[in-house]
Amino acid sequence: MSIPSAGLLVSGYALGVAVGPPLLAVLIAKLPRKLALQLLMLVFIVGNVFCAVAPNYELLMIARVVTSFAHGSFFGIGAVVAASLVLAEKRASASALMFTGLTLANVLGRAIRNFYRAGIRLARDVLDRRGSGRVVHAWRDSGCRIVTMPRPPDSRTKSACCAIRKCGSRSR
């Protein structure tokens, strides 16, 4: 997929978040709020699963836009529900707390995901002898540790790998 095509998917999602919620709110206005939130979350989950398995770009775009409608509507109704659960003088605080949770989930969730992915990549590359530029093999030989690493593909040297030799006195 090209960068402009991926950018169009992002733009389609953003447009859906801006335009879709008022349209969807009219459709679900008569439903109880709890049921509406549950249905919107179901649409969001199913839409994201469909995005993951979409066979072509057009269906991926449709799934992204439908998912974005549910996204925007969910947070709108969620803010109303949060405000309705507390006393009148605490309504602004309740809505602010809901959006604080959203912000923290985005910030911390992404950091935790990146930390997890980095650990998985490192473990995979260390265990895989054909690793992609990370430590592939290490052993001890007469007090010296030799670490062999493949050269990056953009390396201008002729050798296929390099060895770093770290020697020191070692008592046995």
User: Which residues constitute the domain of residue 107?
Assistant: 89-127
Q: Are residues 79 and 99 in the same domain?
A: no
Distance of CA 86 to the CA centre of its chain: 33
Over its C-alpha atoms, the chain yields an Rg (Å, rounded) of: 26
Q: Are residues 1 and 51 in the same domain?
A: yes
Question: Using one digit for the tens of pLDDT, what is the confidence trace for 81-128?
Answer: 888 888 989 888 888 888 888 888 878 888 888 888 777 776 666 666
Identify whether 132 is part of a domain. Answer: no
Question: Using one digit for the tens of pLDDT, what is the confidence trace for 126-139?
Answer: 666 554 444 434 43
Identify whether 146 is part of a domain. Answer: yes
